[in-house]
Amino acid sequence: MKLRINAKKEELRCENCGIALSTYNIYKRKINGVEHYFCCSHCADEYEASAIRCC
Amino acid sequence: MKDLAIIGYGAAGFSALIRANELGIKPVLIGKGEIGGTCVNVGCVPSKKVLWIGGVYNYAKKACGEGCYPDFFNAFIKKEETVKQLKKAKYEDVLSYYDVELINGEAHFVSPFGVKVNNKLIEAKKYIIATGSSPIIPEIKGLREAGFWTNVEALSPRKKVESLIIIGGRALALEFAQMYRRLGVEVALIQRSPLLIPNYEPEVSLKAREILEREGIYVITRAEVKEVLRKGETKIVKTNKGDIEGEEILIATGRKPNTDIGLEKAGVELNERGGIKVNEELRTTNENIFAAGDVIGGPMLESLAGKEGSVACENAIKGTHKKIDFLSVPQVIFTQPNIAKVGLTQEEAEANYEISSRIVYMKDIAKANIIEETEGLIKMVIERNTKKILGVNIISEHASEIINEASLAIKLRATIDDIIDTVHVFPTMSESLKMVSLSFYRDITKMSCCVD
């Protein structure tokens, strides 16, 4: 039998600004032991700063 | 009492055996199961053979412009021929060249210097444990009742399947996904992390996904498998992202070290990865027992296992203090294009260094255009001030060959200038390493061929 798929794919987006990520703009940073994905280091800095404020 | 006992006769065990003979020692070699261990029987050799067969047909498809697949069972028959040939040449025949006492059986430590095999006590002054690893089977509701494949069954299938659901998203999962897709099988891949191969650079991970999806492999990420159900001849995998139904399930969620050999009786402790705890000289917490290969629980690579077997043996017999430079150990996923890495990723390097990084796309490499394989990229990370190369990730045709030069560069703590000052053959894919080094100084998309 062929595959029967009823499962959704998810596009990877910058966890700070929401832009779609590609091989041209992806940036990874581990924050509090968890890997996060951004479009640039500035977004990662903003996200990390807000994460620190939240905690 | 014997001088040396080696437990396990895979890559690490054989490497230790050969080194022992070179040092004038006749070891006892204790092994169970197929000689040669995982690599030659159910690992690198058979998987790369079937991947290669699929690759040949893929080239043909490109050339002829038509869909064509190899015969499903014939691919595995050819695989078996290669396994038999290499097992004989590289393991069975090799045994006859060396002075060794071979014992087939399962070893269990009964004291810090004694093991029992087939109810016989063997005592040795030194030991090397090289018992390898086995697939991890995750605790998923209904999985065991429904049945599943591991790499073992997937490399010797008893039935032809039309669809395969792979749980996992690292090296093994990617290789089997492409292998089966290129045998004409519909494949879905379920990965828990946001990215496939999360231990690689994220640009490489995304490109890998893009390439697999273009071949028709259905990839879902951030997916948590909740349950597996059997429905007649098919199996349903239920996840938080929805359900996938197919003929068979392949579990490719990693491997665990084989440590069930009575280590507590020998005073050998385990590490946080569940492998045998060793120091940099591969010595365990028992000073007379060393460990090598997958059983340590580090990177599970055939070539590294071989190196570790040799180093452990030398340190055990000669009392030397040899270490392995783990930073320069390369690893490859043998999909087409290959995916390869050595050293640190940008994220890893940023934790300890001031770094710079560059990416060059294969479309800007002359040879990639000549052979019409422009898919992919190479990324390099360097220490900003010294310009020393810290890491290289590649996804491209022949990346498995290119990575060796990067590995040597890191081993020698070379800089990008060392690479740039080395004349590379034009046109080659290896030139990509020079181009990415040059890209730290100039825009390589605006250069003519061979500009230095």
Q: Residue B34 carries which DSSP code? A: S
For the record, the structure tokens of B437 come out as: 């080094």
Q: Which residues of A touch B377 (CB under 8 A)?
A: 23
All CATH 3.50.50.60 domain ranges of chain B, comma separated, are: 2-135+256-324, 143-253
Tokens 């895979």, residue?
B10
* B337 cis-preceded (ω within 30 degrees of 0): yes
Tell whether A34 is within 8 A of chain B (Cβ). Answer: no
CATH 3.30.990.10 matches B328-446: no
For the record, the structure tokens of B208 come out as: 């890998």
From CA B341, how far away is CA B204, in angstroms rounded? 10
B32–chain A nearest CA distance, Å: 38
Give DSSP secondary structure letters for B315-327: HHHH-------GG
Helices (H), chain A: 41-54
Q: Residue B233 carries which DSSP code? A: T
Residue of A1, A35, A48 to mutate, testing the B interface (most B Cβ within 10 Å of its Cβ): A1
Tell whether A53 is within 8 A of chain B (Cβ). Answer: no
- pTM, rounded to two decimals: 0.94
Report CA B312 to chain centroid distance, whole Å. 21
- Which pLDDT tens digits describe chain B residue by residue (452 residues)? 999 999 999 999 999 999 999 999 999 999 999 899 888 999 999 999 999 999 999 988 888 877 788 999 999 999 999 999 999 999 999 999 999 999 999 999 999 999 999 999 999 999 999 999 999 999 999 999 999 999 999 999 999 999 999 999 999 999 999 999 999 999 999 999 999 999 999 999 999 999 999 999 999 999 999 999 999 999 999 999 999 999 999 999 999 999 999 999 999 999 999 999 999 999 999 999 999 999 999 999 999 999 999 999 999 999 999 999 999 999 999 999 999 999 999 999 999 999 999 999 999 999 999 999 999 999 999 999 999 999 999 999 999 999 999 999 999 999 999 999 999 999 999 999 999 999 999 999 988 887 77
The CATH superfamily holding the domain B2-135+256-324 is: FAD/NAD(P)-binding domain (3.50.50.60)
For the record, the structure tokens of B6 come out as: 């080696």
From the options 3.40.50.300, 3.40.630.30, 3.40.1280.10, 3.50.50.60, give the CATH code of B143-253: 3.50.50.60
Using CA coordinates, name the residue in chain B closest to A9.
Answer: B220
- Coil, strand, or helix at residue B19? helix
User: Does the interface ipTM go beyond 0.90?
Assistant: yes
Tell whether A30 is within 8 A of chain B (Cβ). Answer: yes
All CATH 3.30.390.30 domain ranges of chain B, comma separated, are: 328-446
Under 8 Å between Cβ of A32 and A39? no
Tell whether A26 is within 8 A of chain B (Cβ). Answer: yes
Using CA coordinates, name the residue in chain A closest to B217.
Answer: A3
